[in-house]
């Protein structure tokens, strides 16, 4: 019984800004720099979702990637692609739209769907630019 | 006397939308699809700027890449990075912010600076996503 | 009136072999090497299709990328993705399935569709592996 | 004594299909979709093999990458590159050729060779396409 | 309280050779191969530094990436970029310049700075070429 | 008779510096910046060589990529990989080792070999870093 991990990548293009309403523009700029631009900026985000499990004896699959991709497209990408992460996305309402928080929110959004399809959600990575990305393991600390 | 081409890449992250004020939301959506989202979306853009010239005998350079990078940073990237292409950028005012038009606008903005530094602007590529990019040769049609 | 080039990338995963029936296995191996393996091998191909034109005044588009992507998906990708290039693809019947020939065949297949949608097909690139790709300009020789 | 991990990438291009003989074509298509195409399809696979160890005091190496590459080339790549994963590969005989199963089979094939060269096999990743890959840690579950 | 990991990439271009003074040239070549070339060779190195922490409630940040980037640029990149790793770099003095050892040395150099800025250094990856990289977790063995 | 272009990528890792002996260190630094570091720096270079021709009727090939790769490996890569471009490379002797000049030197070195194997050398690209590369068309100016 050999657990293995399979990862699916999806992409989304979105606008956001890092901004706290209760702070002055000066403080927002001091903390968030260019990311606080009032009129938004944006990114080509890459989302990697990893599911852990034992390969099925008949299919050799941990989870059918068509199923995983369908979950991701319906639950995440449709809500978030070509959207404004601060204004348009129900599952991010009230959340500071840092990449860290987006990763946690996506985890909470899809964990149960993955489980009901026979897998265990193990890892979410969001690449924001070629120079930065975040990793979330559902609260686990592998290292 | 052997002409050669040297290319510098710069990157910028920006928000935009494709939208014509005089059109109905329905027509905007019909033509521009998800890109017409009222609250913007965004991309990690990659800008490639190519300069043609004869390598200098002493330096071996067509143009010093420090000089080219300085032009690009001061004239283009500072104006456009972490900005809203529809609202924030002087050199794009009044221009439909398609990638095609952005490429042409950047050409017009930097052509003279490149010339004054001893090179000839030859090619601009803007990569918007891993699935689409535009190329502009200053009106030339190499193919 | 400034001509500009826009490129759309599509991907397909396919099997093929390089093999001439009238040659002996030894000669096939001598010429085609590992690519002549009788039981096939395969690649993740990347297809880049470039259309030339003048940006439309209202949309800023040379061609609507949704339109171009639809042509490519219906005419090319559906026929070729997860297929055997030697056995399964009508538009490659009777053609030695080298990357060169595939590029020419795709050009001939889509040139008219691109024209009817207001663009001019200008360039096809097929990347076969990270170490080799072909470029076809419809018979033009830009360099 | 600081354990560190070193990774070597090798690539192979291969054909395969996902297919169970005892299932009807319809059921195969329902489960495996396009991947069940009778005439095969293929990929440019990337194989990443990670070895754990303490850097040698004289060489600074966990394992000499020339040695690791030689193991991978002789044991894996020669058997699998430009081959049909269902038909041609001794170490995959009788195994459903999912990426998950290929990763496990490669682990079992090389684990002892890595140990005899002073390292400990720690991680195998196989990238099948830019949108999916699998990770195997020899049965360990780091997260 | 959900720990999450954020990663910053920096790049540096450097020369080095693998060479032990007390060995003959023949033995150096036998062990280090082409990497022992007396006149040096070089690489475009990519450095990925990962910090673990709980996102700050106000900023959503584990650590401000501007802060992390500043640490990396001042402590590491300025010392190492466009340098000779065997001759020019104080924090590598007396260390065989294998990628493994460079990763460990960078960890020791920045661990305290990261801590003083509220994060916990969790992972360093150095990519030397597209075919090899090392990972260091500060002595932890996640797998 | 449809001319098409095929490209082969090879890689080499090398050290170099930009330096003129007859200049003072100050002037060298002023012109070449960090690239003038006396103790060298280095890069992972990527070399793309493009050959033009008509696909052979039997093979579908412009040129057999095995042949092209053999030329590149014997004439270029063996001379230049894991070497010092200023000191070790016969075909760069007396040449300021800018990427521009390296591209021209490689063209002159292989043009005849390509011709004798039935192709026409059309384009050389050398990527020095992810942010800069040069293109040489043998003196032609396609744009």
Quick check: E66 contacting A, CB < 8 Å? yes
Is the model's pLDDT at E83 over the cut of 90?
A: yes
Touching chains, A (3+ CB pairs < 8 A): B, D, E
d(CA D63, CA D119): 6
pTM of the entire predicted model: 0.97
User: Which H or E element spans position E53?
Assistant: strand E41-53
Q: Do B33 and C142 touch (CB under 8 A)?
A: no
User: Which H or E element spans position A101?
Assistant: helix A99-116
* CB-CB neighbours of E2 under 10 Å: 16
Q: SS3 string of B75-108?
A: HHHHHHCCEECCCCCHHHCCCCCCHHHHHHHHHH
Known active-site residue D82 = yes
Question: Does residue D122 contact residue D50 with C-beta atoms inside 8 Å?
Answer: yes
Per-residue confidence at D90, pLDDT binned at 50, 70, 90? very high
* Closest C-alpha to D122, from D61, D49, D45, D46: D49
Radius of gyration, alpha carbons of chain E? 17
Torsion of CA E60, E63, E68, E70, to 10 degrees: 70
d(CA B132, CA E80): 36
- Which of B1, B3, B6, B139 is best to mutate for the F interface (most F CBs within 10 A)? B6
Per cent of chain A over pLDDT 90 is 99
Where helices occur in chain C by DSSP H, the ranges are 25-32, 65-71, 78-80, 99-116
d(CA F72, CA F109): 10
Q: Do A42 and B39 touch (CB under 8 A)?
A: no
d(CA C20, CA C27): 9
Q: Do E129 and F44 touch (CB under 8 A)?
A: yes
Quick check: A15 contacting B, CB < 8 Å? yes
Question: Does residue C35 contact residue C11 with C-beta atoms inside 8 Å?
Answer: no
ipTM: 0.96
Question: Does residue B131 contact residue C8 with C-beta atoms inside 8 Å?
Answer: yes
Per DSSP, what are the bridge partners of residue E90? none
CB-nearest to B98 from C9, C50, C60 is: C60
Contacts of E35 (CB under 8 A, 6+ apart): E17, E18, E41, F82
Scored b (16 or more CB within 10 A) or e, F59-98 reads bbbbbbbebbbebbeeebbebbbbbbbbbbbeebeebbbb
Q: Do F96 and B60 touch (CB under 8 A)?
A: yes
DSSP annotation of E64 reads: -
E55: chain A residues, CB-CB within 8 Å: 98, 100-101, 104
Residue numbers of E annotated as active site = 35, 82, 128
**pLDDT, chain C, mean:** 97
Question: Does residue F124 contact residue F47 with C-beta atoms inside 8 Å?
Answer: yes
Q: Which of B30, B74, B78, B82 is catalytic?
A: B82
Where helices occur in B1-137 by DSSP H, the ranges are 25-32, 65-71, 78-80, 99-116
Question: Does residue C76 contact residue C47 with C-beta atoms inside 8 Å?
Answer: yes
Angle at C36 between CA D100 and CA C10, to 5 degrees: 60
* Closest C-alpha to A72, from A104, A100, A106: A106
What mean pLDDT do residues C81-89 have?
98
* CB-CB neighbours of E51 under 10 Å: 26
Q: Is C102 exposed, middle or buried (0-12, 13-18, 19+ CB in 10 A)?
A: buried
Known active-site residue F111 = no
- B and F touching (3 or more beta-carbon pairs closer than 8 Å): yes
CB-nearest to F55 from C20, C100, C131 is: C100
Q: Do E60 and A141 touch (CB under 8 A)?
A: no
Number of Cα atoms under 13 Å in the Cβ half of residue C82: 12
Per-residue confidence at D129, pLDDT binned at 50, 70, 90? very high
Which pLDDT belongs to residue E73? 98
Scored b (16 or more CB within 10 A) or e, E90-99 reads eebeebbbbb
Question: Does residue B53 contact residue B59 with C-beta atoms inside 8 Å?
Answer: no
Which pLDDT belongs to residue A1? 73
Is the model's pLDDT at D1 over the cut of 90?
A: no
Is the model's pLDDT at C1 over the cut of 90?
A: no
Q: Which of C78, C82, C100, C112 is catalytic?
A: C82
d(CA A118, CA A130): 33
Which pLDDT belongs to residue B1? 73
C33: chain F residues, CB-CB within 8 Å: 66
Q: What is the pLDDT of residues C36-51, one digit of tens each?
A: 999 999 999 999 999 9
Is the model's pLDDT at E33 over the cut of 90?
A: yes
Known active-site residue B82 = yes
User: Which H or E element spans position D103?
Assistant: helix D99-116
CB-nearest to E8 from A97, A131, A136 is: A131
Which pLDDT belongs to residue D103? 98
Q: Do D135 and A4 touch (CB under 8 A)?
A: yes
Residue reference for tokens 């070597």:
D8
DSSP annotation of F114 reads: H
Q: Do D137 and E130 touch (CB under 8 A)?
A: no
Minimal C-alpha gap between B136 and chain C (Å): 5
Which pLDDT belongs to residue E1? 73
Please tell me whether residue F9 adopts helix, strand or coil conformation.
strand
Chain A residue with the nearest C-alpha to that of D130: A9
What mean pLDDT do residues D82-91 have?
98
F136: chain B residues, CB-CB within 8 Å: 2, 4-5
Q: SS3 string of A14-81?
A: EEECCCCCCCCHHHHHHHHHHHHCCCCEEEEEEEEEEEEECCCCCCCCCCCHHHHHHHHHHHHHHHHC
Which pLDDT belongs to residue A110? 98
Which pLDDT belongs to residue B72? 98
Q: What is the pLDDT of residues A36-85, one digit of tens each?
A: 999 999 999 999 999 999 999 999 999 999 999 999 999 999 999 999 99
Please tell me whether residue C67 adopts helix, strand or coil conformation.
helix
Per-residue confidence at D9, pLDDT binned at 50, 70, 90? very high
**Segment F91-97 long-range contacts (CB within 8 Å, at least 24 positions apart):** F95/B60, F96/B58, F96/B59, F96/B60, F96/F18, F96/F20, F97/B60, F97/F16, F97/F17, F97/F18
d(CA F23, CA A103): 54
Q: What is the pLDDT of residues B111-141, one digit of tens each?
A: 999 999 999 999 999 999 999 999 999 999 9
Touching chains, E (3+ CB pairs < 8 A): A, D, F
Lookup: tokens for E52: 């673990």
CB-nearest to D42 from C14, C34, C87 is: C14
Contacts of F56 (CB under 8 A, 6+ apart): F62
Residue-level length of chain D: 143
Q: Do C8 and B132 touch (CB under 8 A)?
A: yes
What mean pLDDT do residues C85-100 have?
96
Q: What is the pLDDT of residues B31-49, one digit of tens each?
A: 999 999 999 999 999 999 9
Per-residue confidence at B64, pLDDT binned at 50, 70, 90? very high
CB-nearest to D104 from A2, A7, A61 is: A2
Contacts of C72 (CB under 8 A, 6+ apart): C8, C10, C47, C49, C110
F135: chain B residues, CB-CB within 8 Å: 4-7, 50
Which pLDDT belongs to residue F31? 96
Quick check: B62 contacting F, CB < 8 Å? yes
Q: Do A2 and D142 touch (CB under 8 A)?
A: no
Lookup: tokens for D65: 């990458």
Fold of E4-136: Tetrahydropterin Synthase; Chain A (3.30.479)
CB-nearest to B82 from A14, A37, A83 is: A37
d(CA C89, CA C70): 19
Which pLDDT belongs to residue D125? 98
* CB-CB neighbours of E134 under 10 Å: 23
Q: What is the pLDDT of residues B68-98, one digit of tens each?
A: 999 999 999 999 999 999 999 999 999 999 9
Question: Does residue B125 contact residue C40 with C-beta atoms inside 8 Å?
Answer: no
Q: Do C6 and B134 touch (CB under 8 A)?
A: yes
Low-confidence ranges of chain F (pLDDT < 50): none
What mean pLDDT do residues A19-30 have?
96
């Amino acid at each position: 019984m050999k657990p293995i991990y399979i990862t699916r990548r999806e992409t989304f293009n979105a606008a956001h800004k890092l901004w706290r309403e209760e702070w002055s523009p000066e403080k927002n700029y001091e903390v968030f720099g260019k990311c606080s631009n009032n009129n938004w900026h944006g990114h080509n985000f890459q989302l990697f979702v990893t599911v852990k499990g034992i390969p099925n004896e008949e299919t050799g699959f941990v989870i059918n990637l068509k199923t995983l991709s369908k979950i991701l497209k319906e639950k995440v990408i449709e809500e978030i692609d070509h959207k404004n992460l601060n204004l348009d996305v129900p599952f991010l309402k009230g959340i500071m739209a840092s990449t860290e928080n987006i990763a946690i929110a996506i985890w909470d959004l899809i964990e149960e769907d993955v489980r009901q399809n026979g897998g265990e959600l193990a890892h979410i990575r969001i690449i924001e630019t070629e120079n930065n990305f975040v990793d979330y393991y559902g609260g686990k600390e592998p290292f």
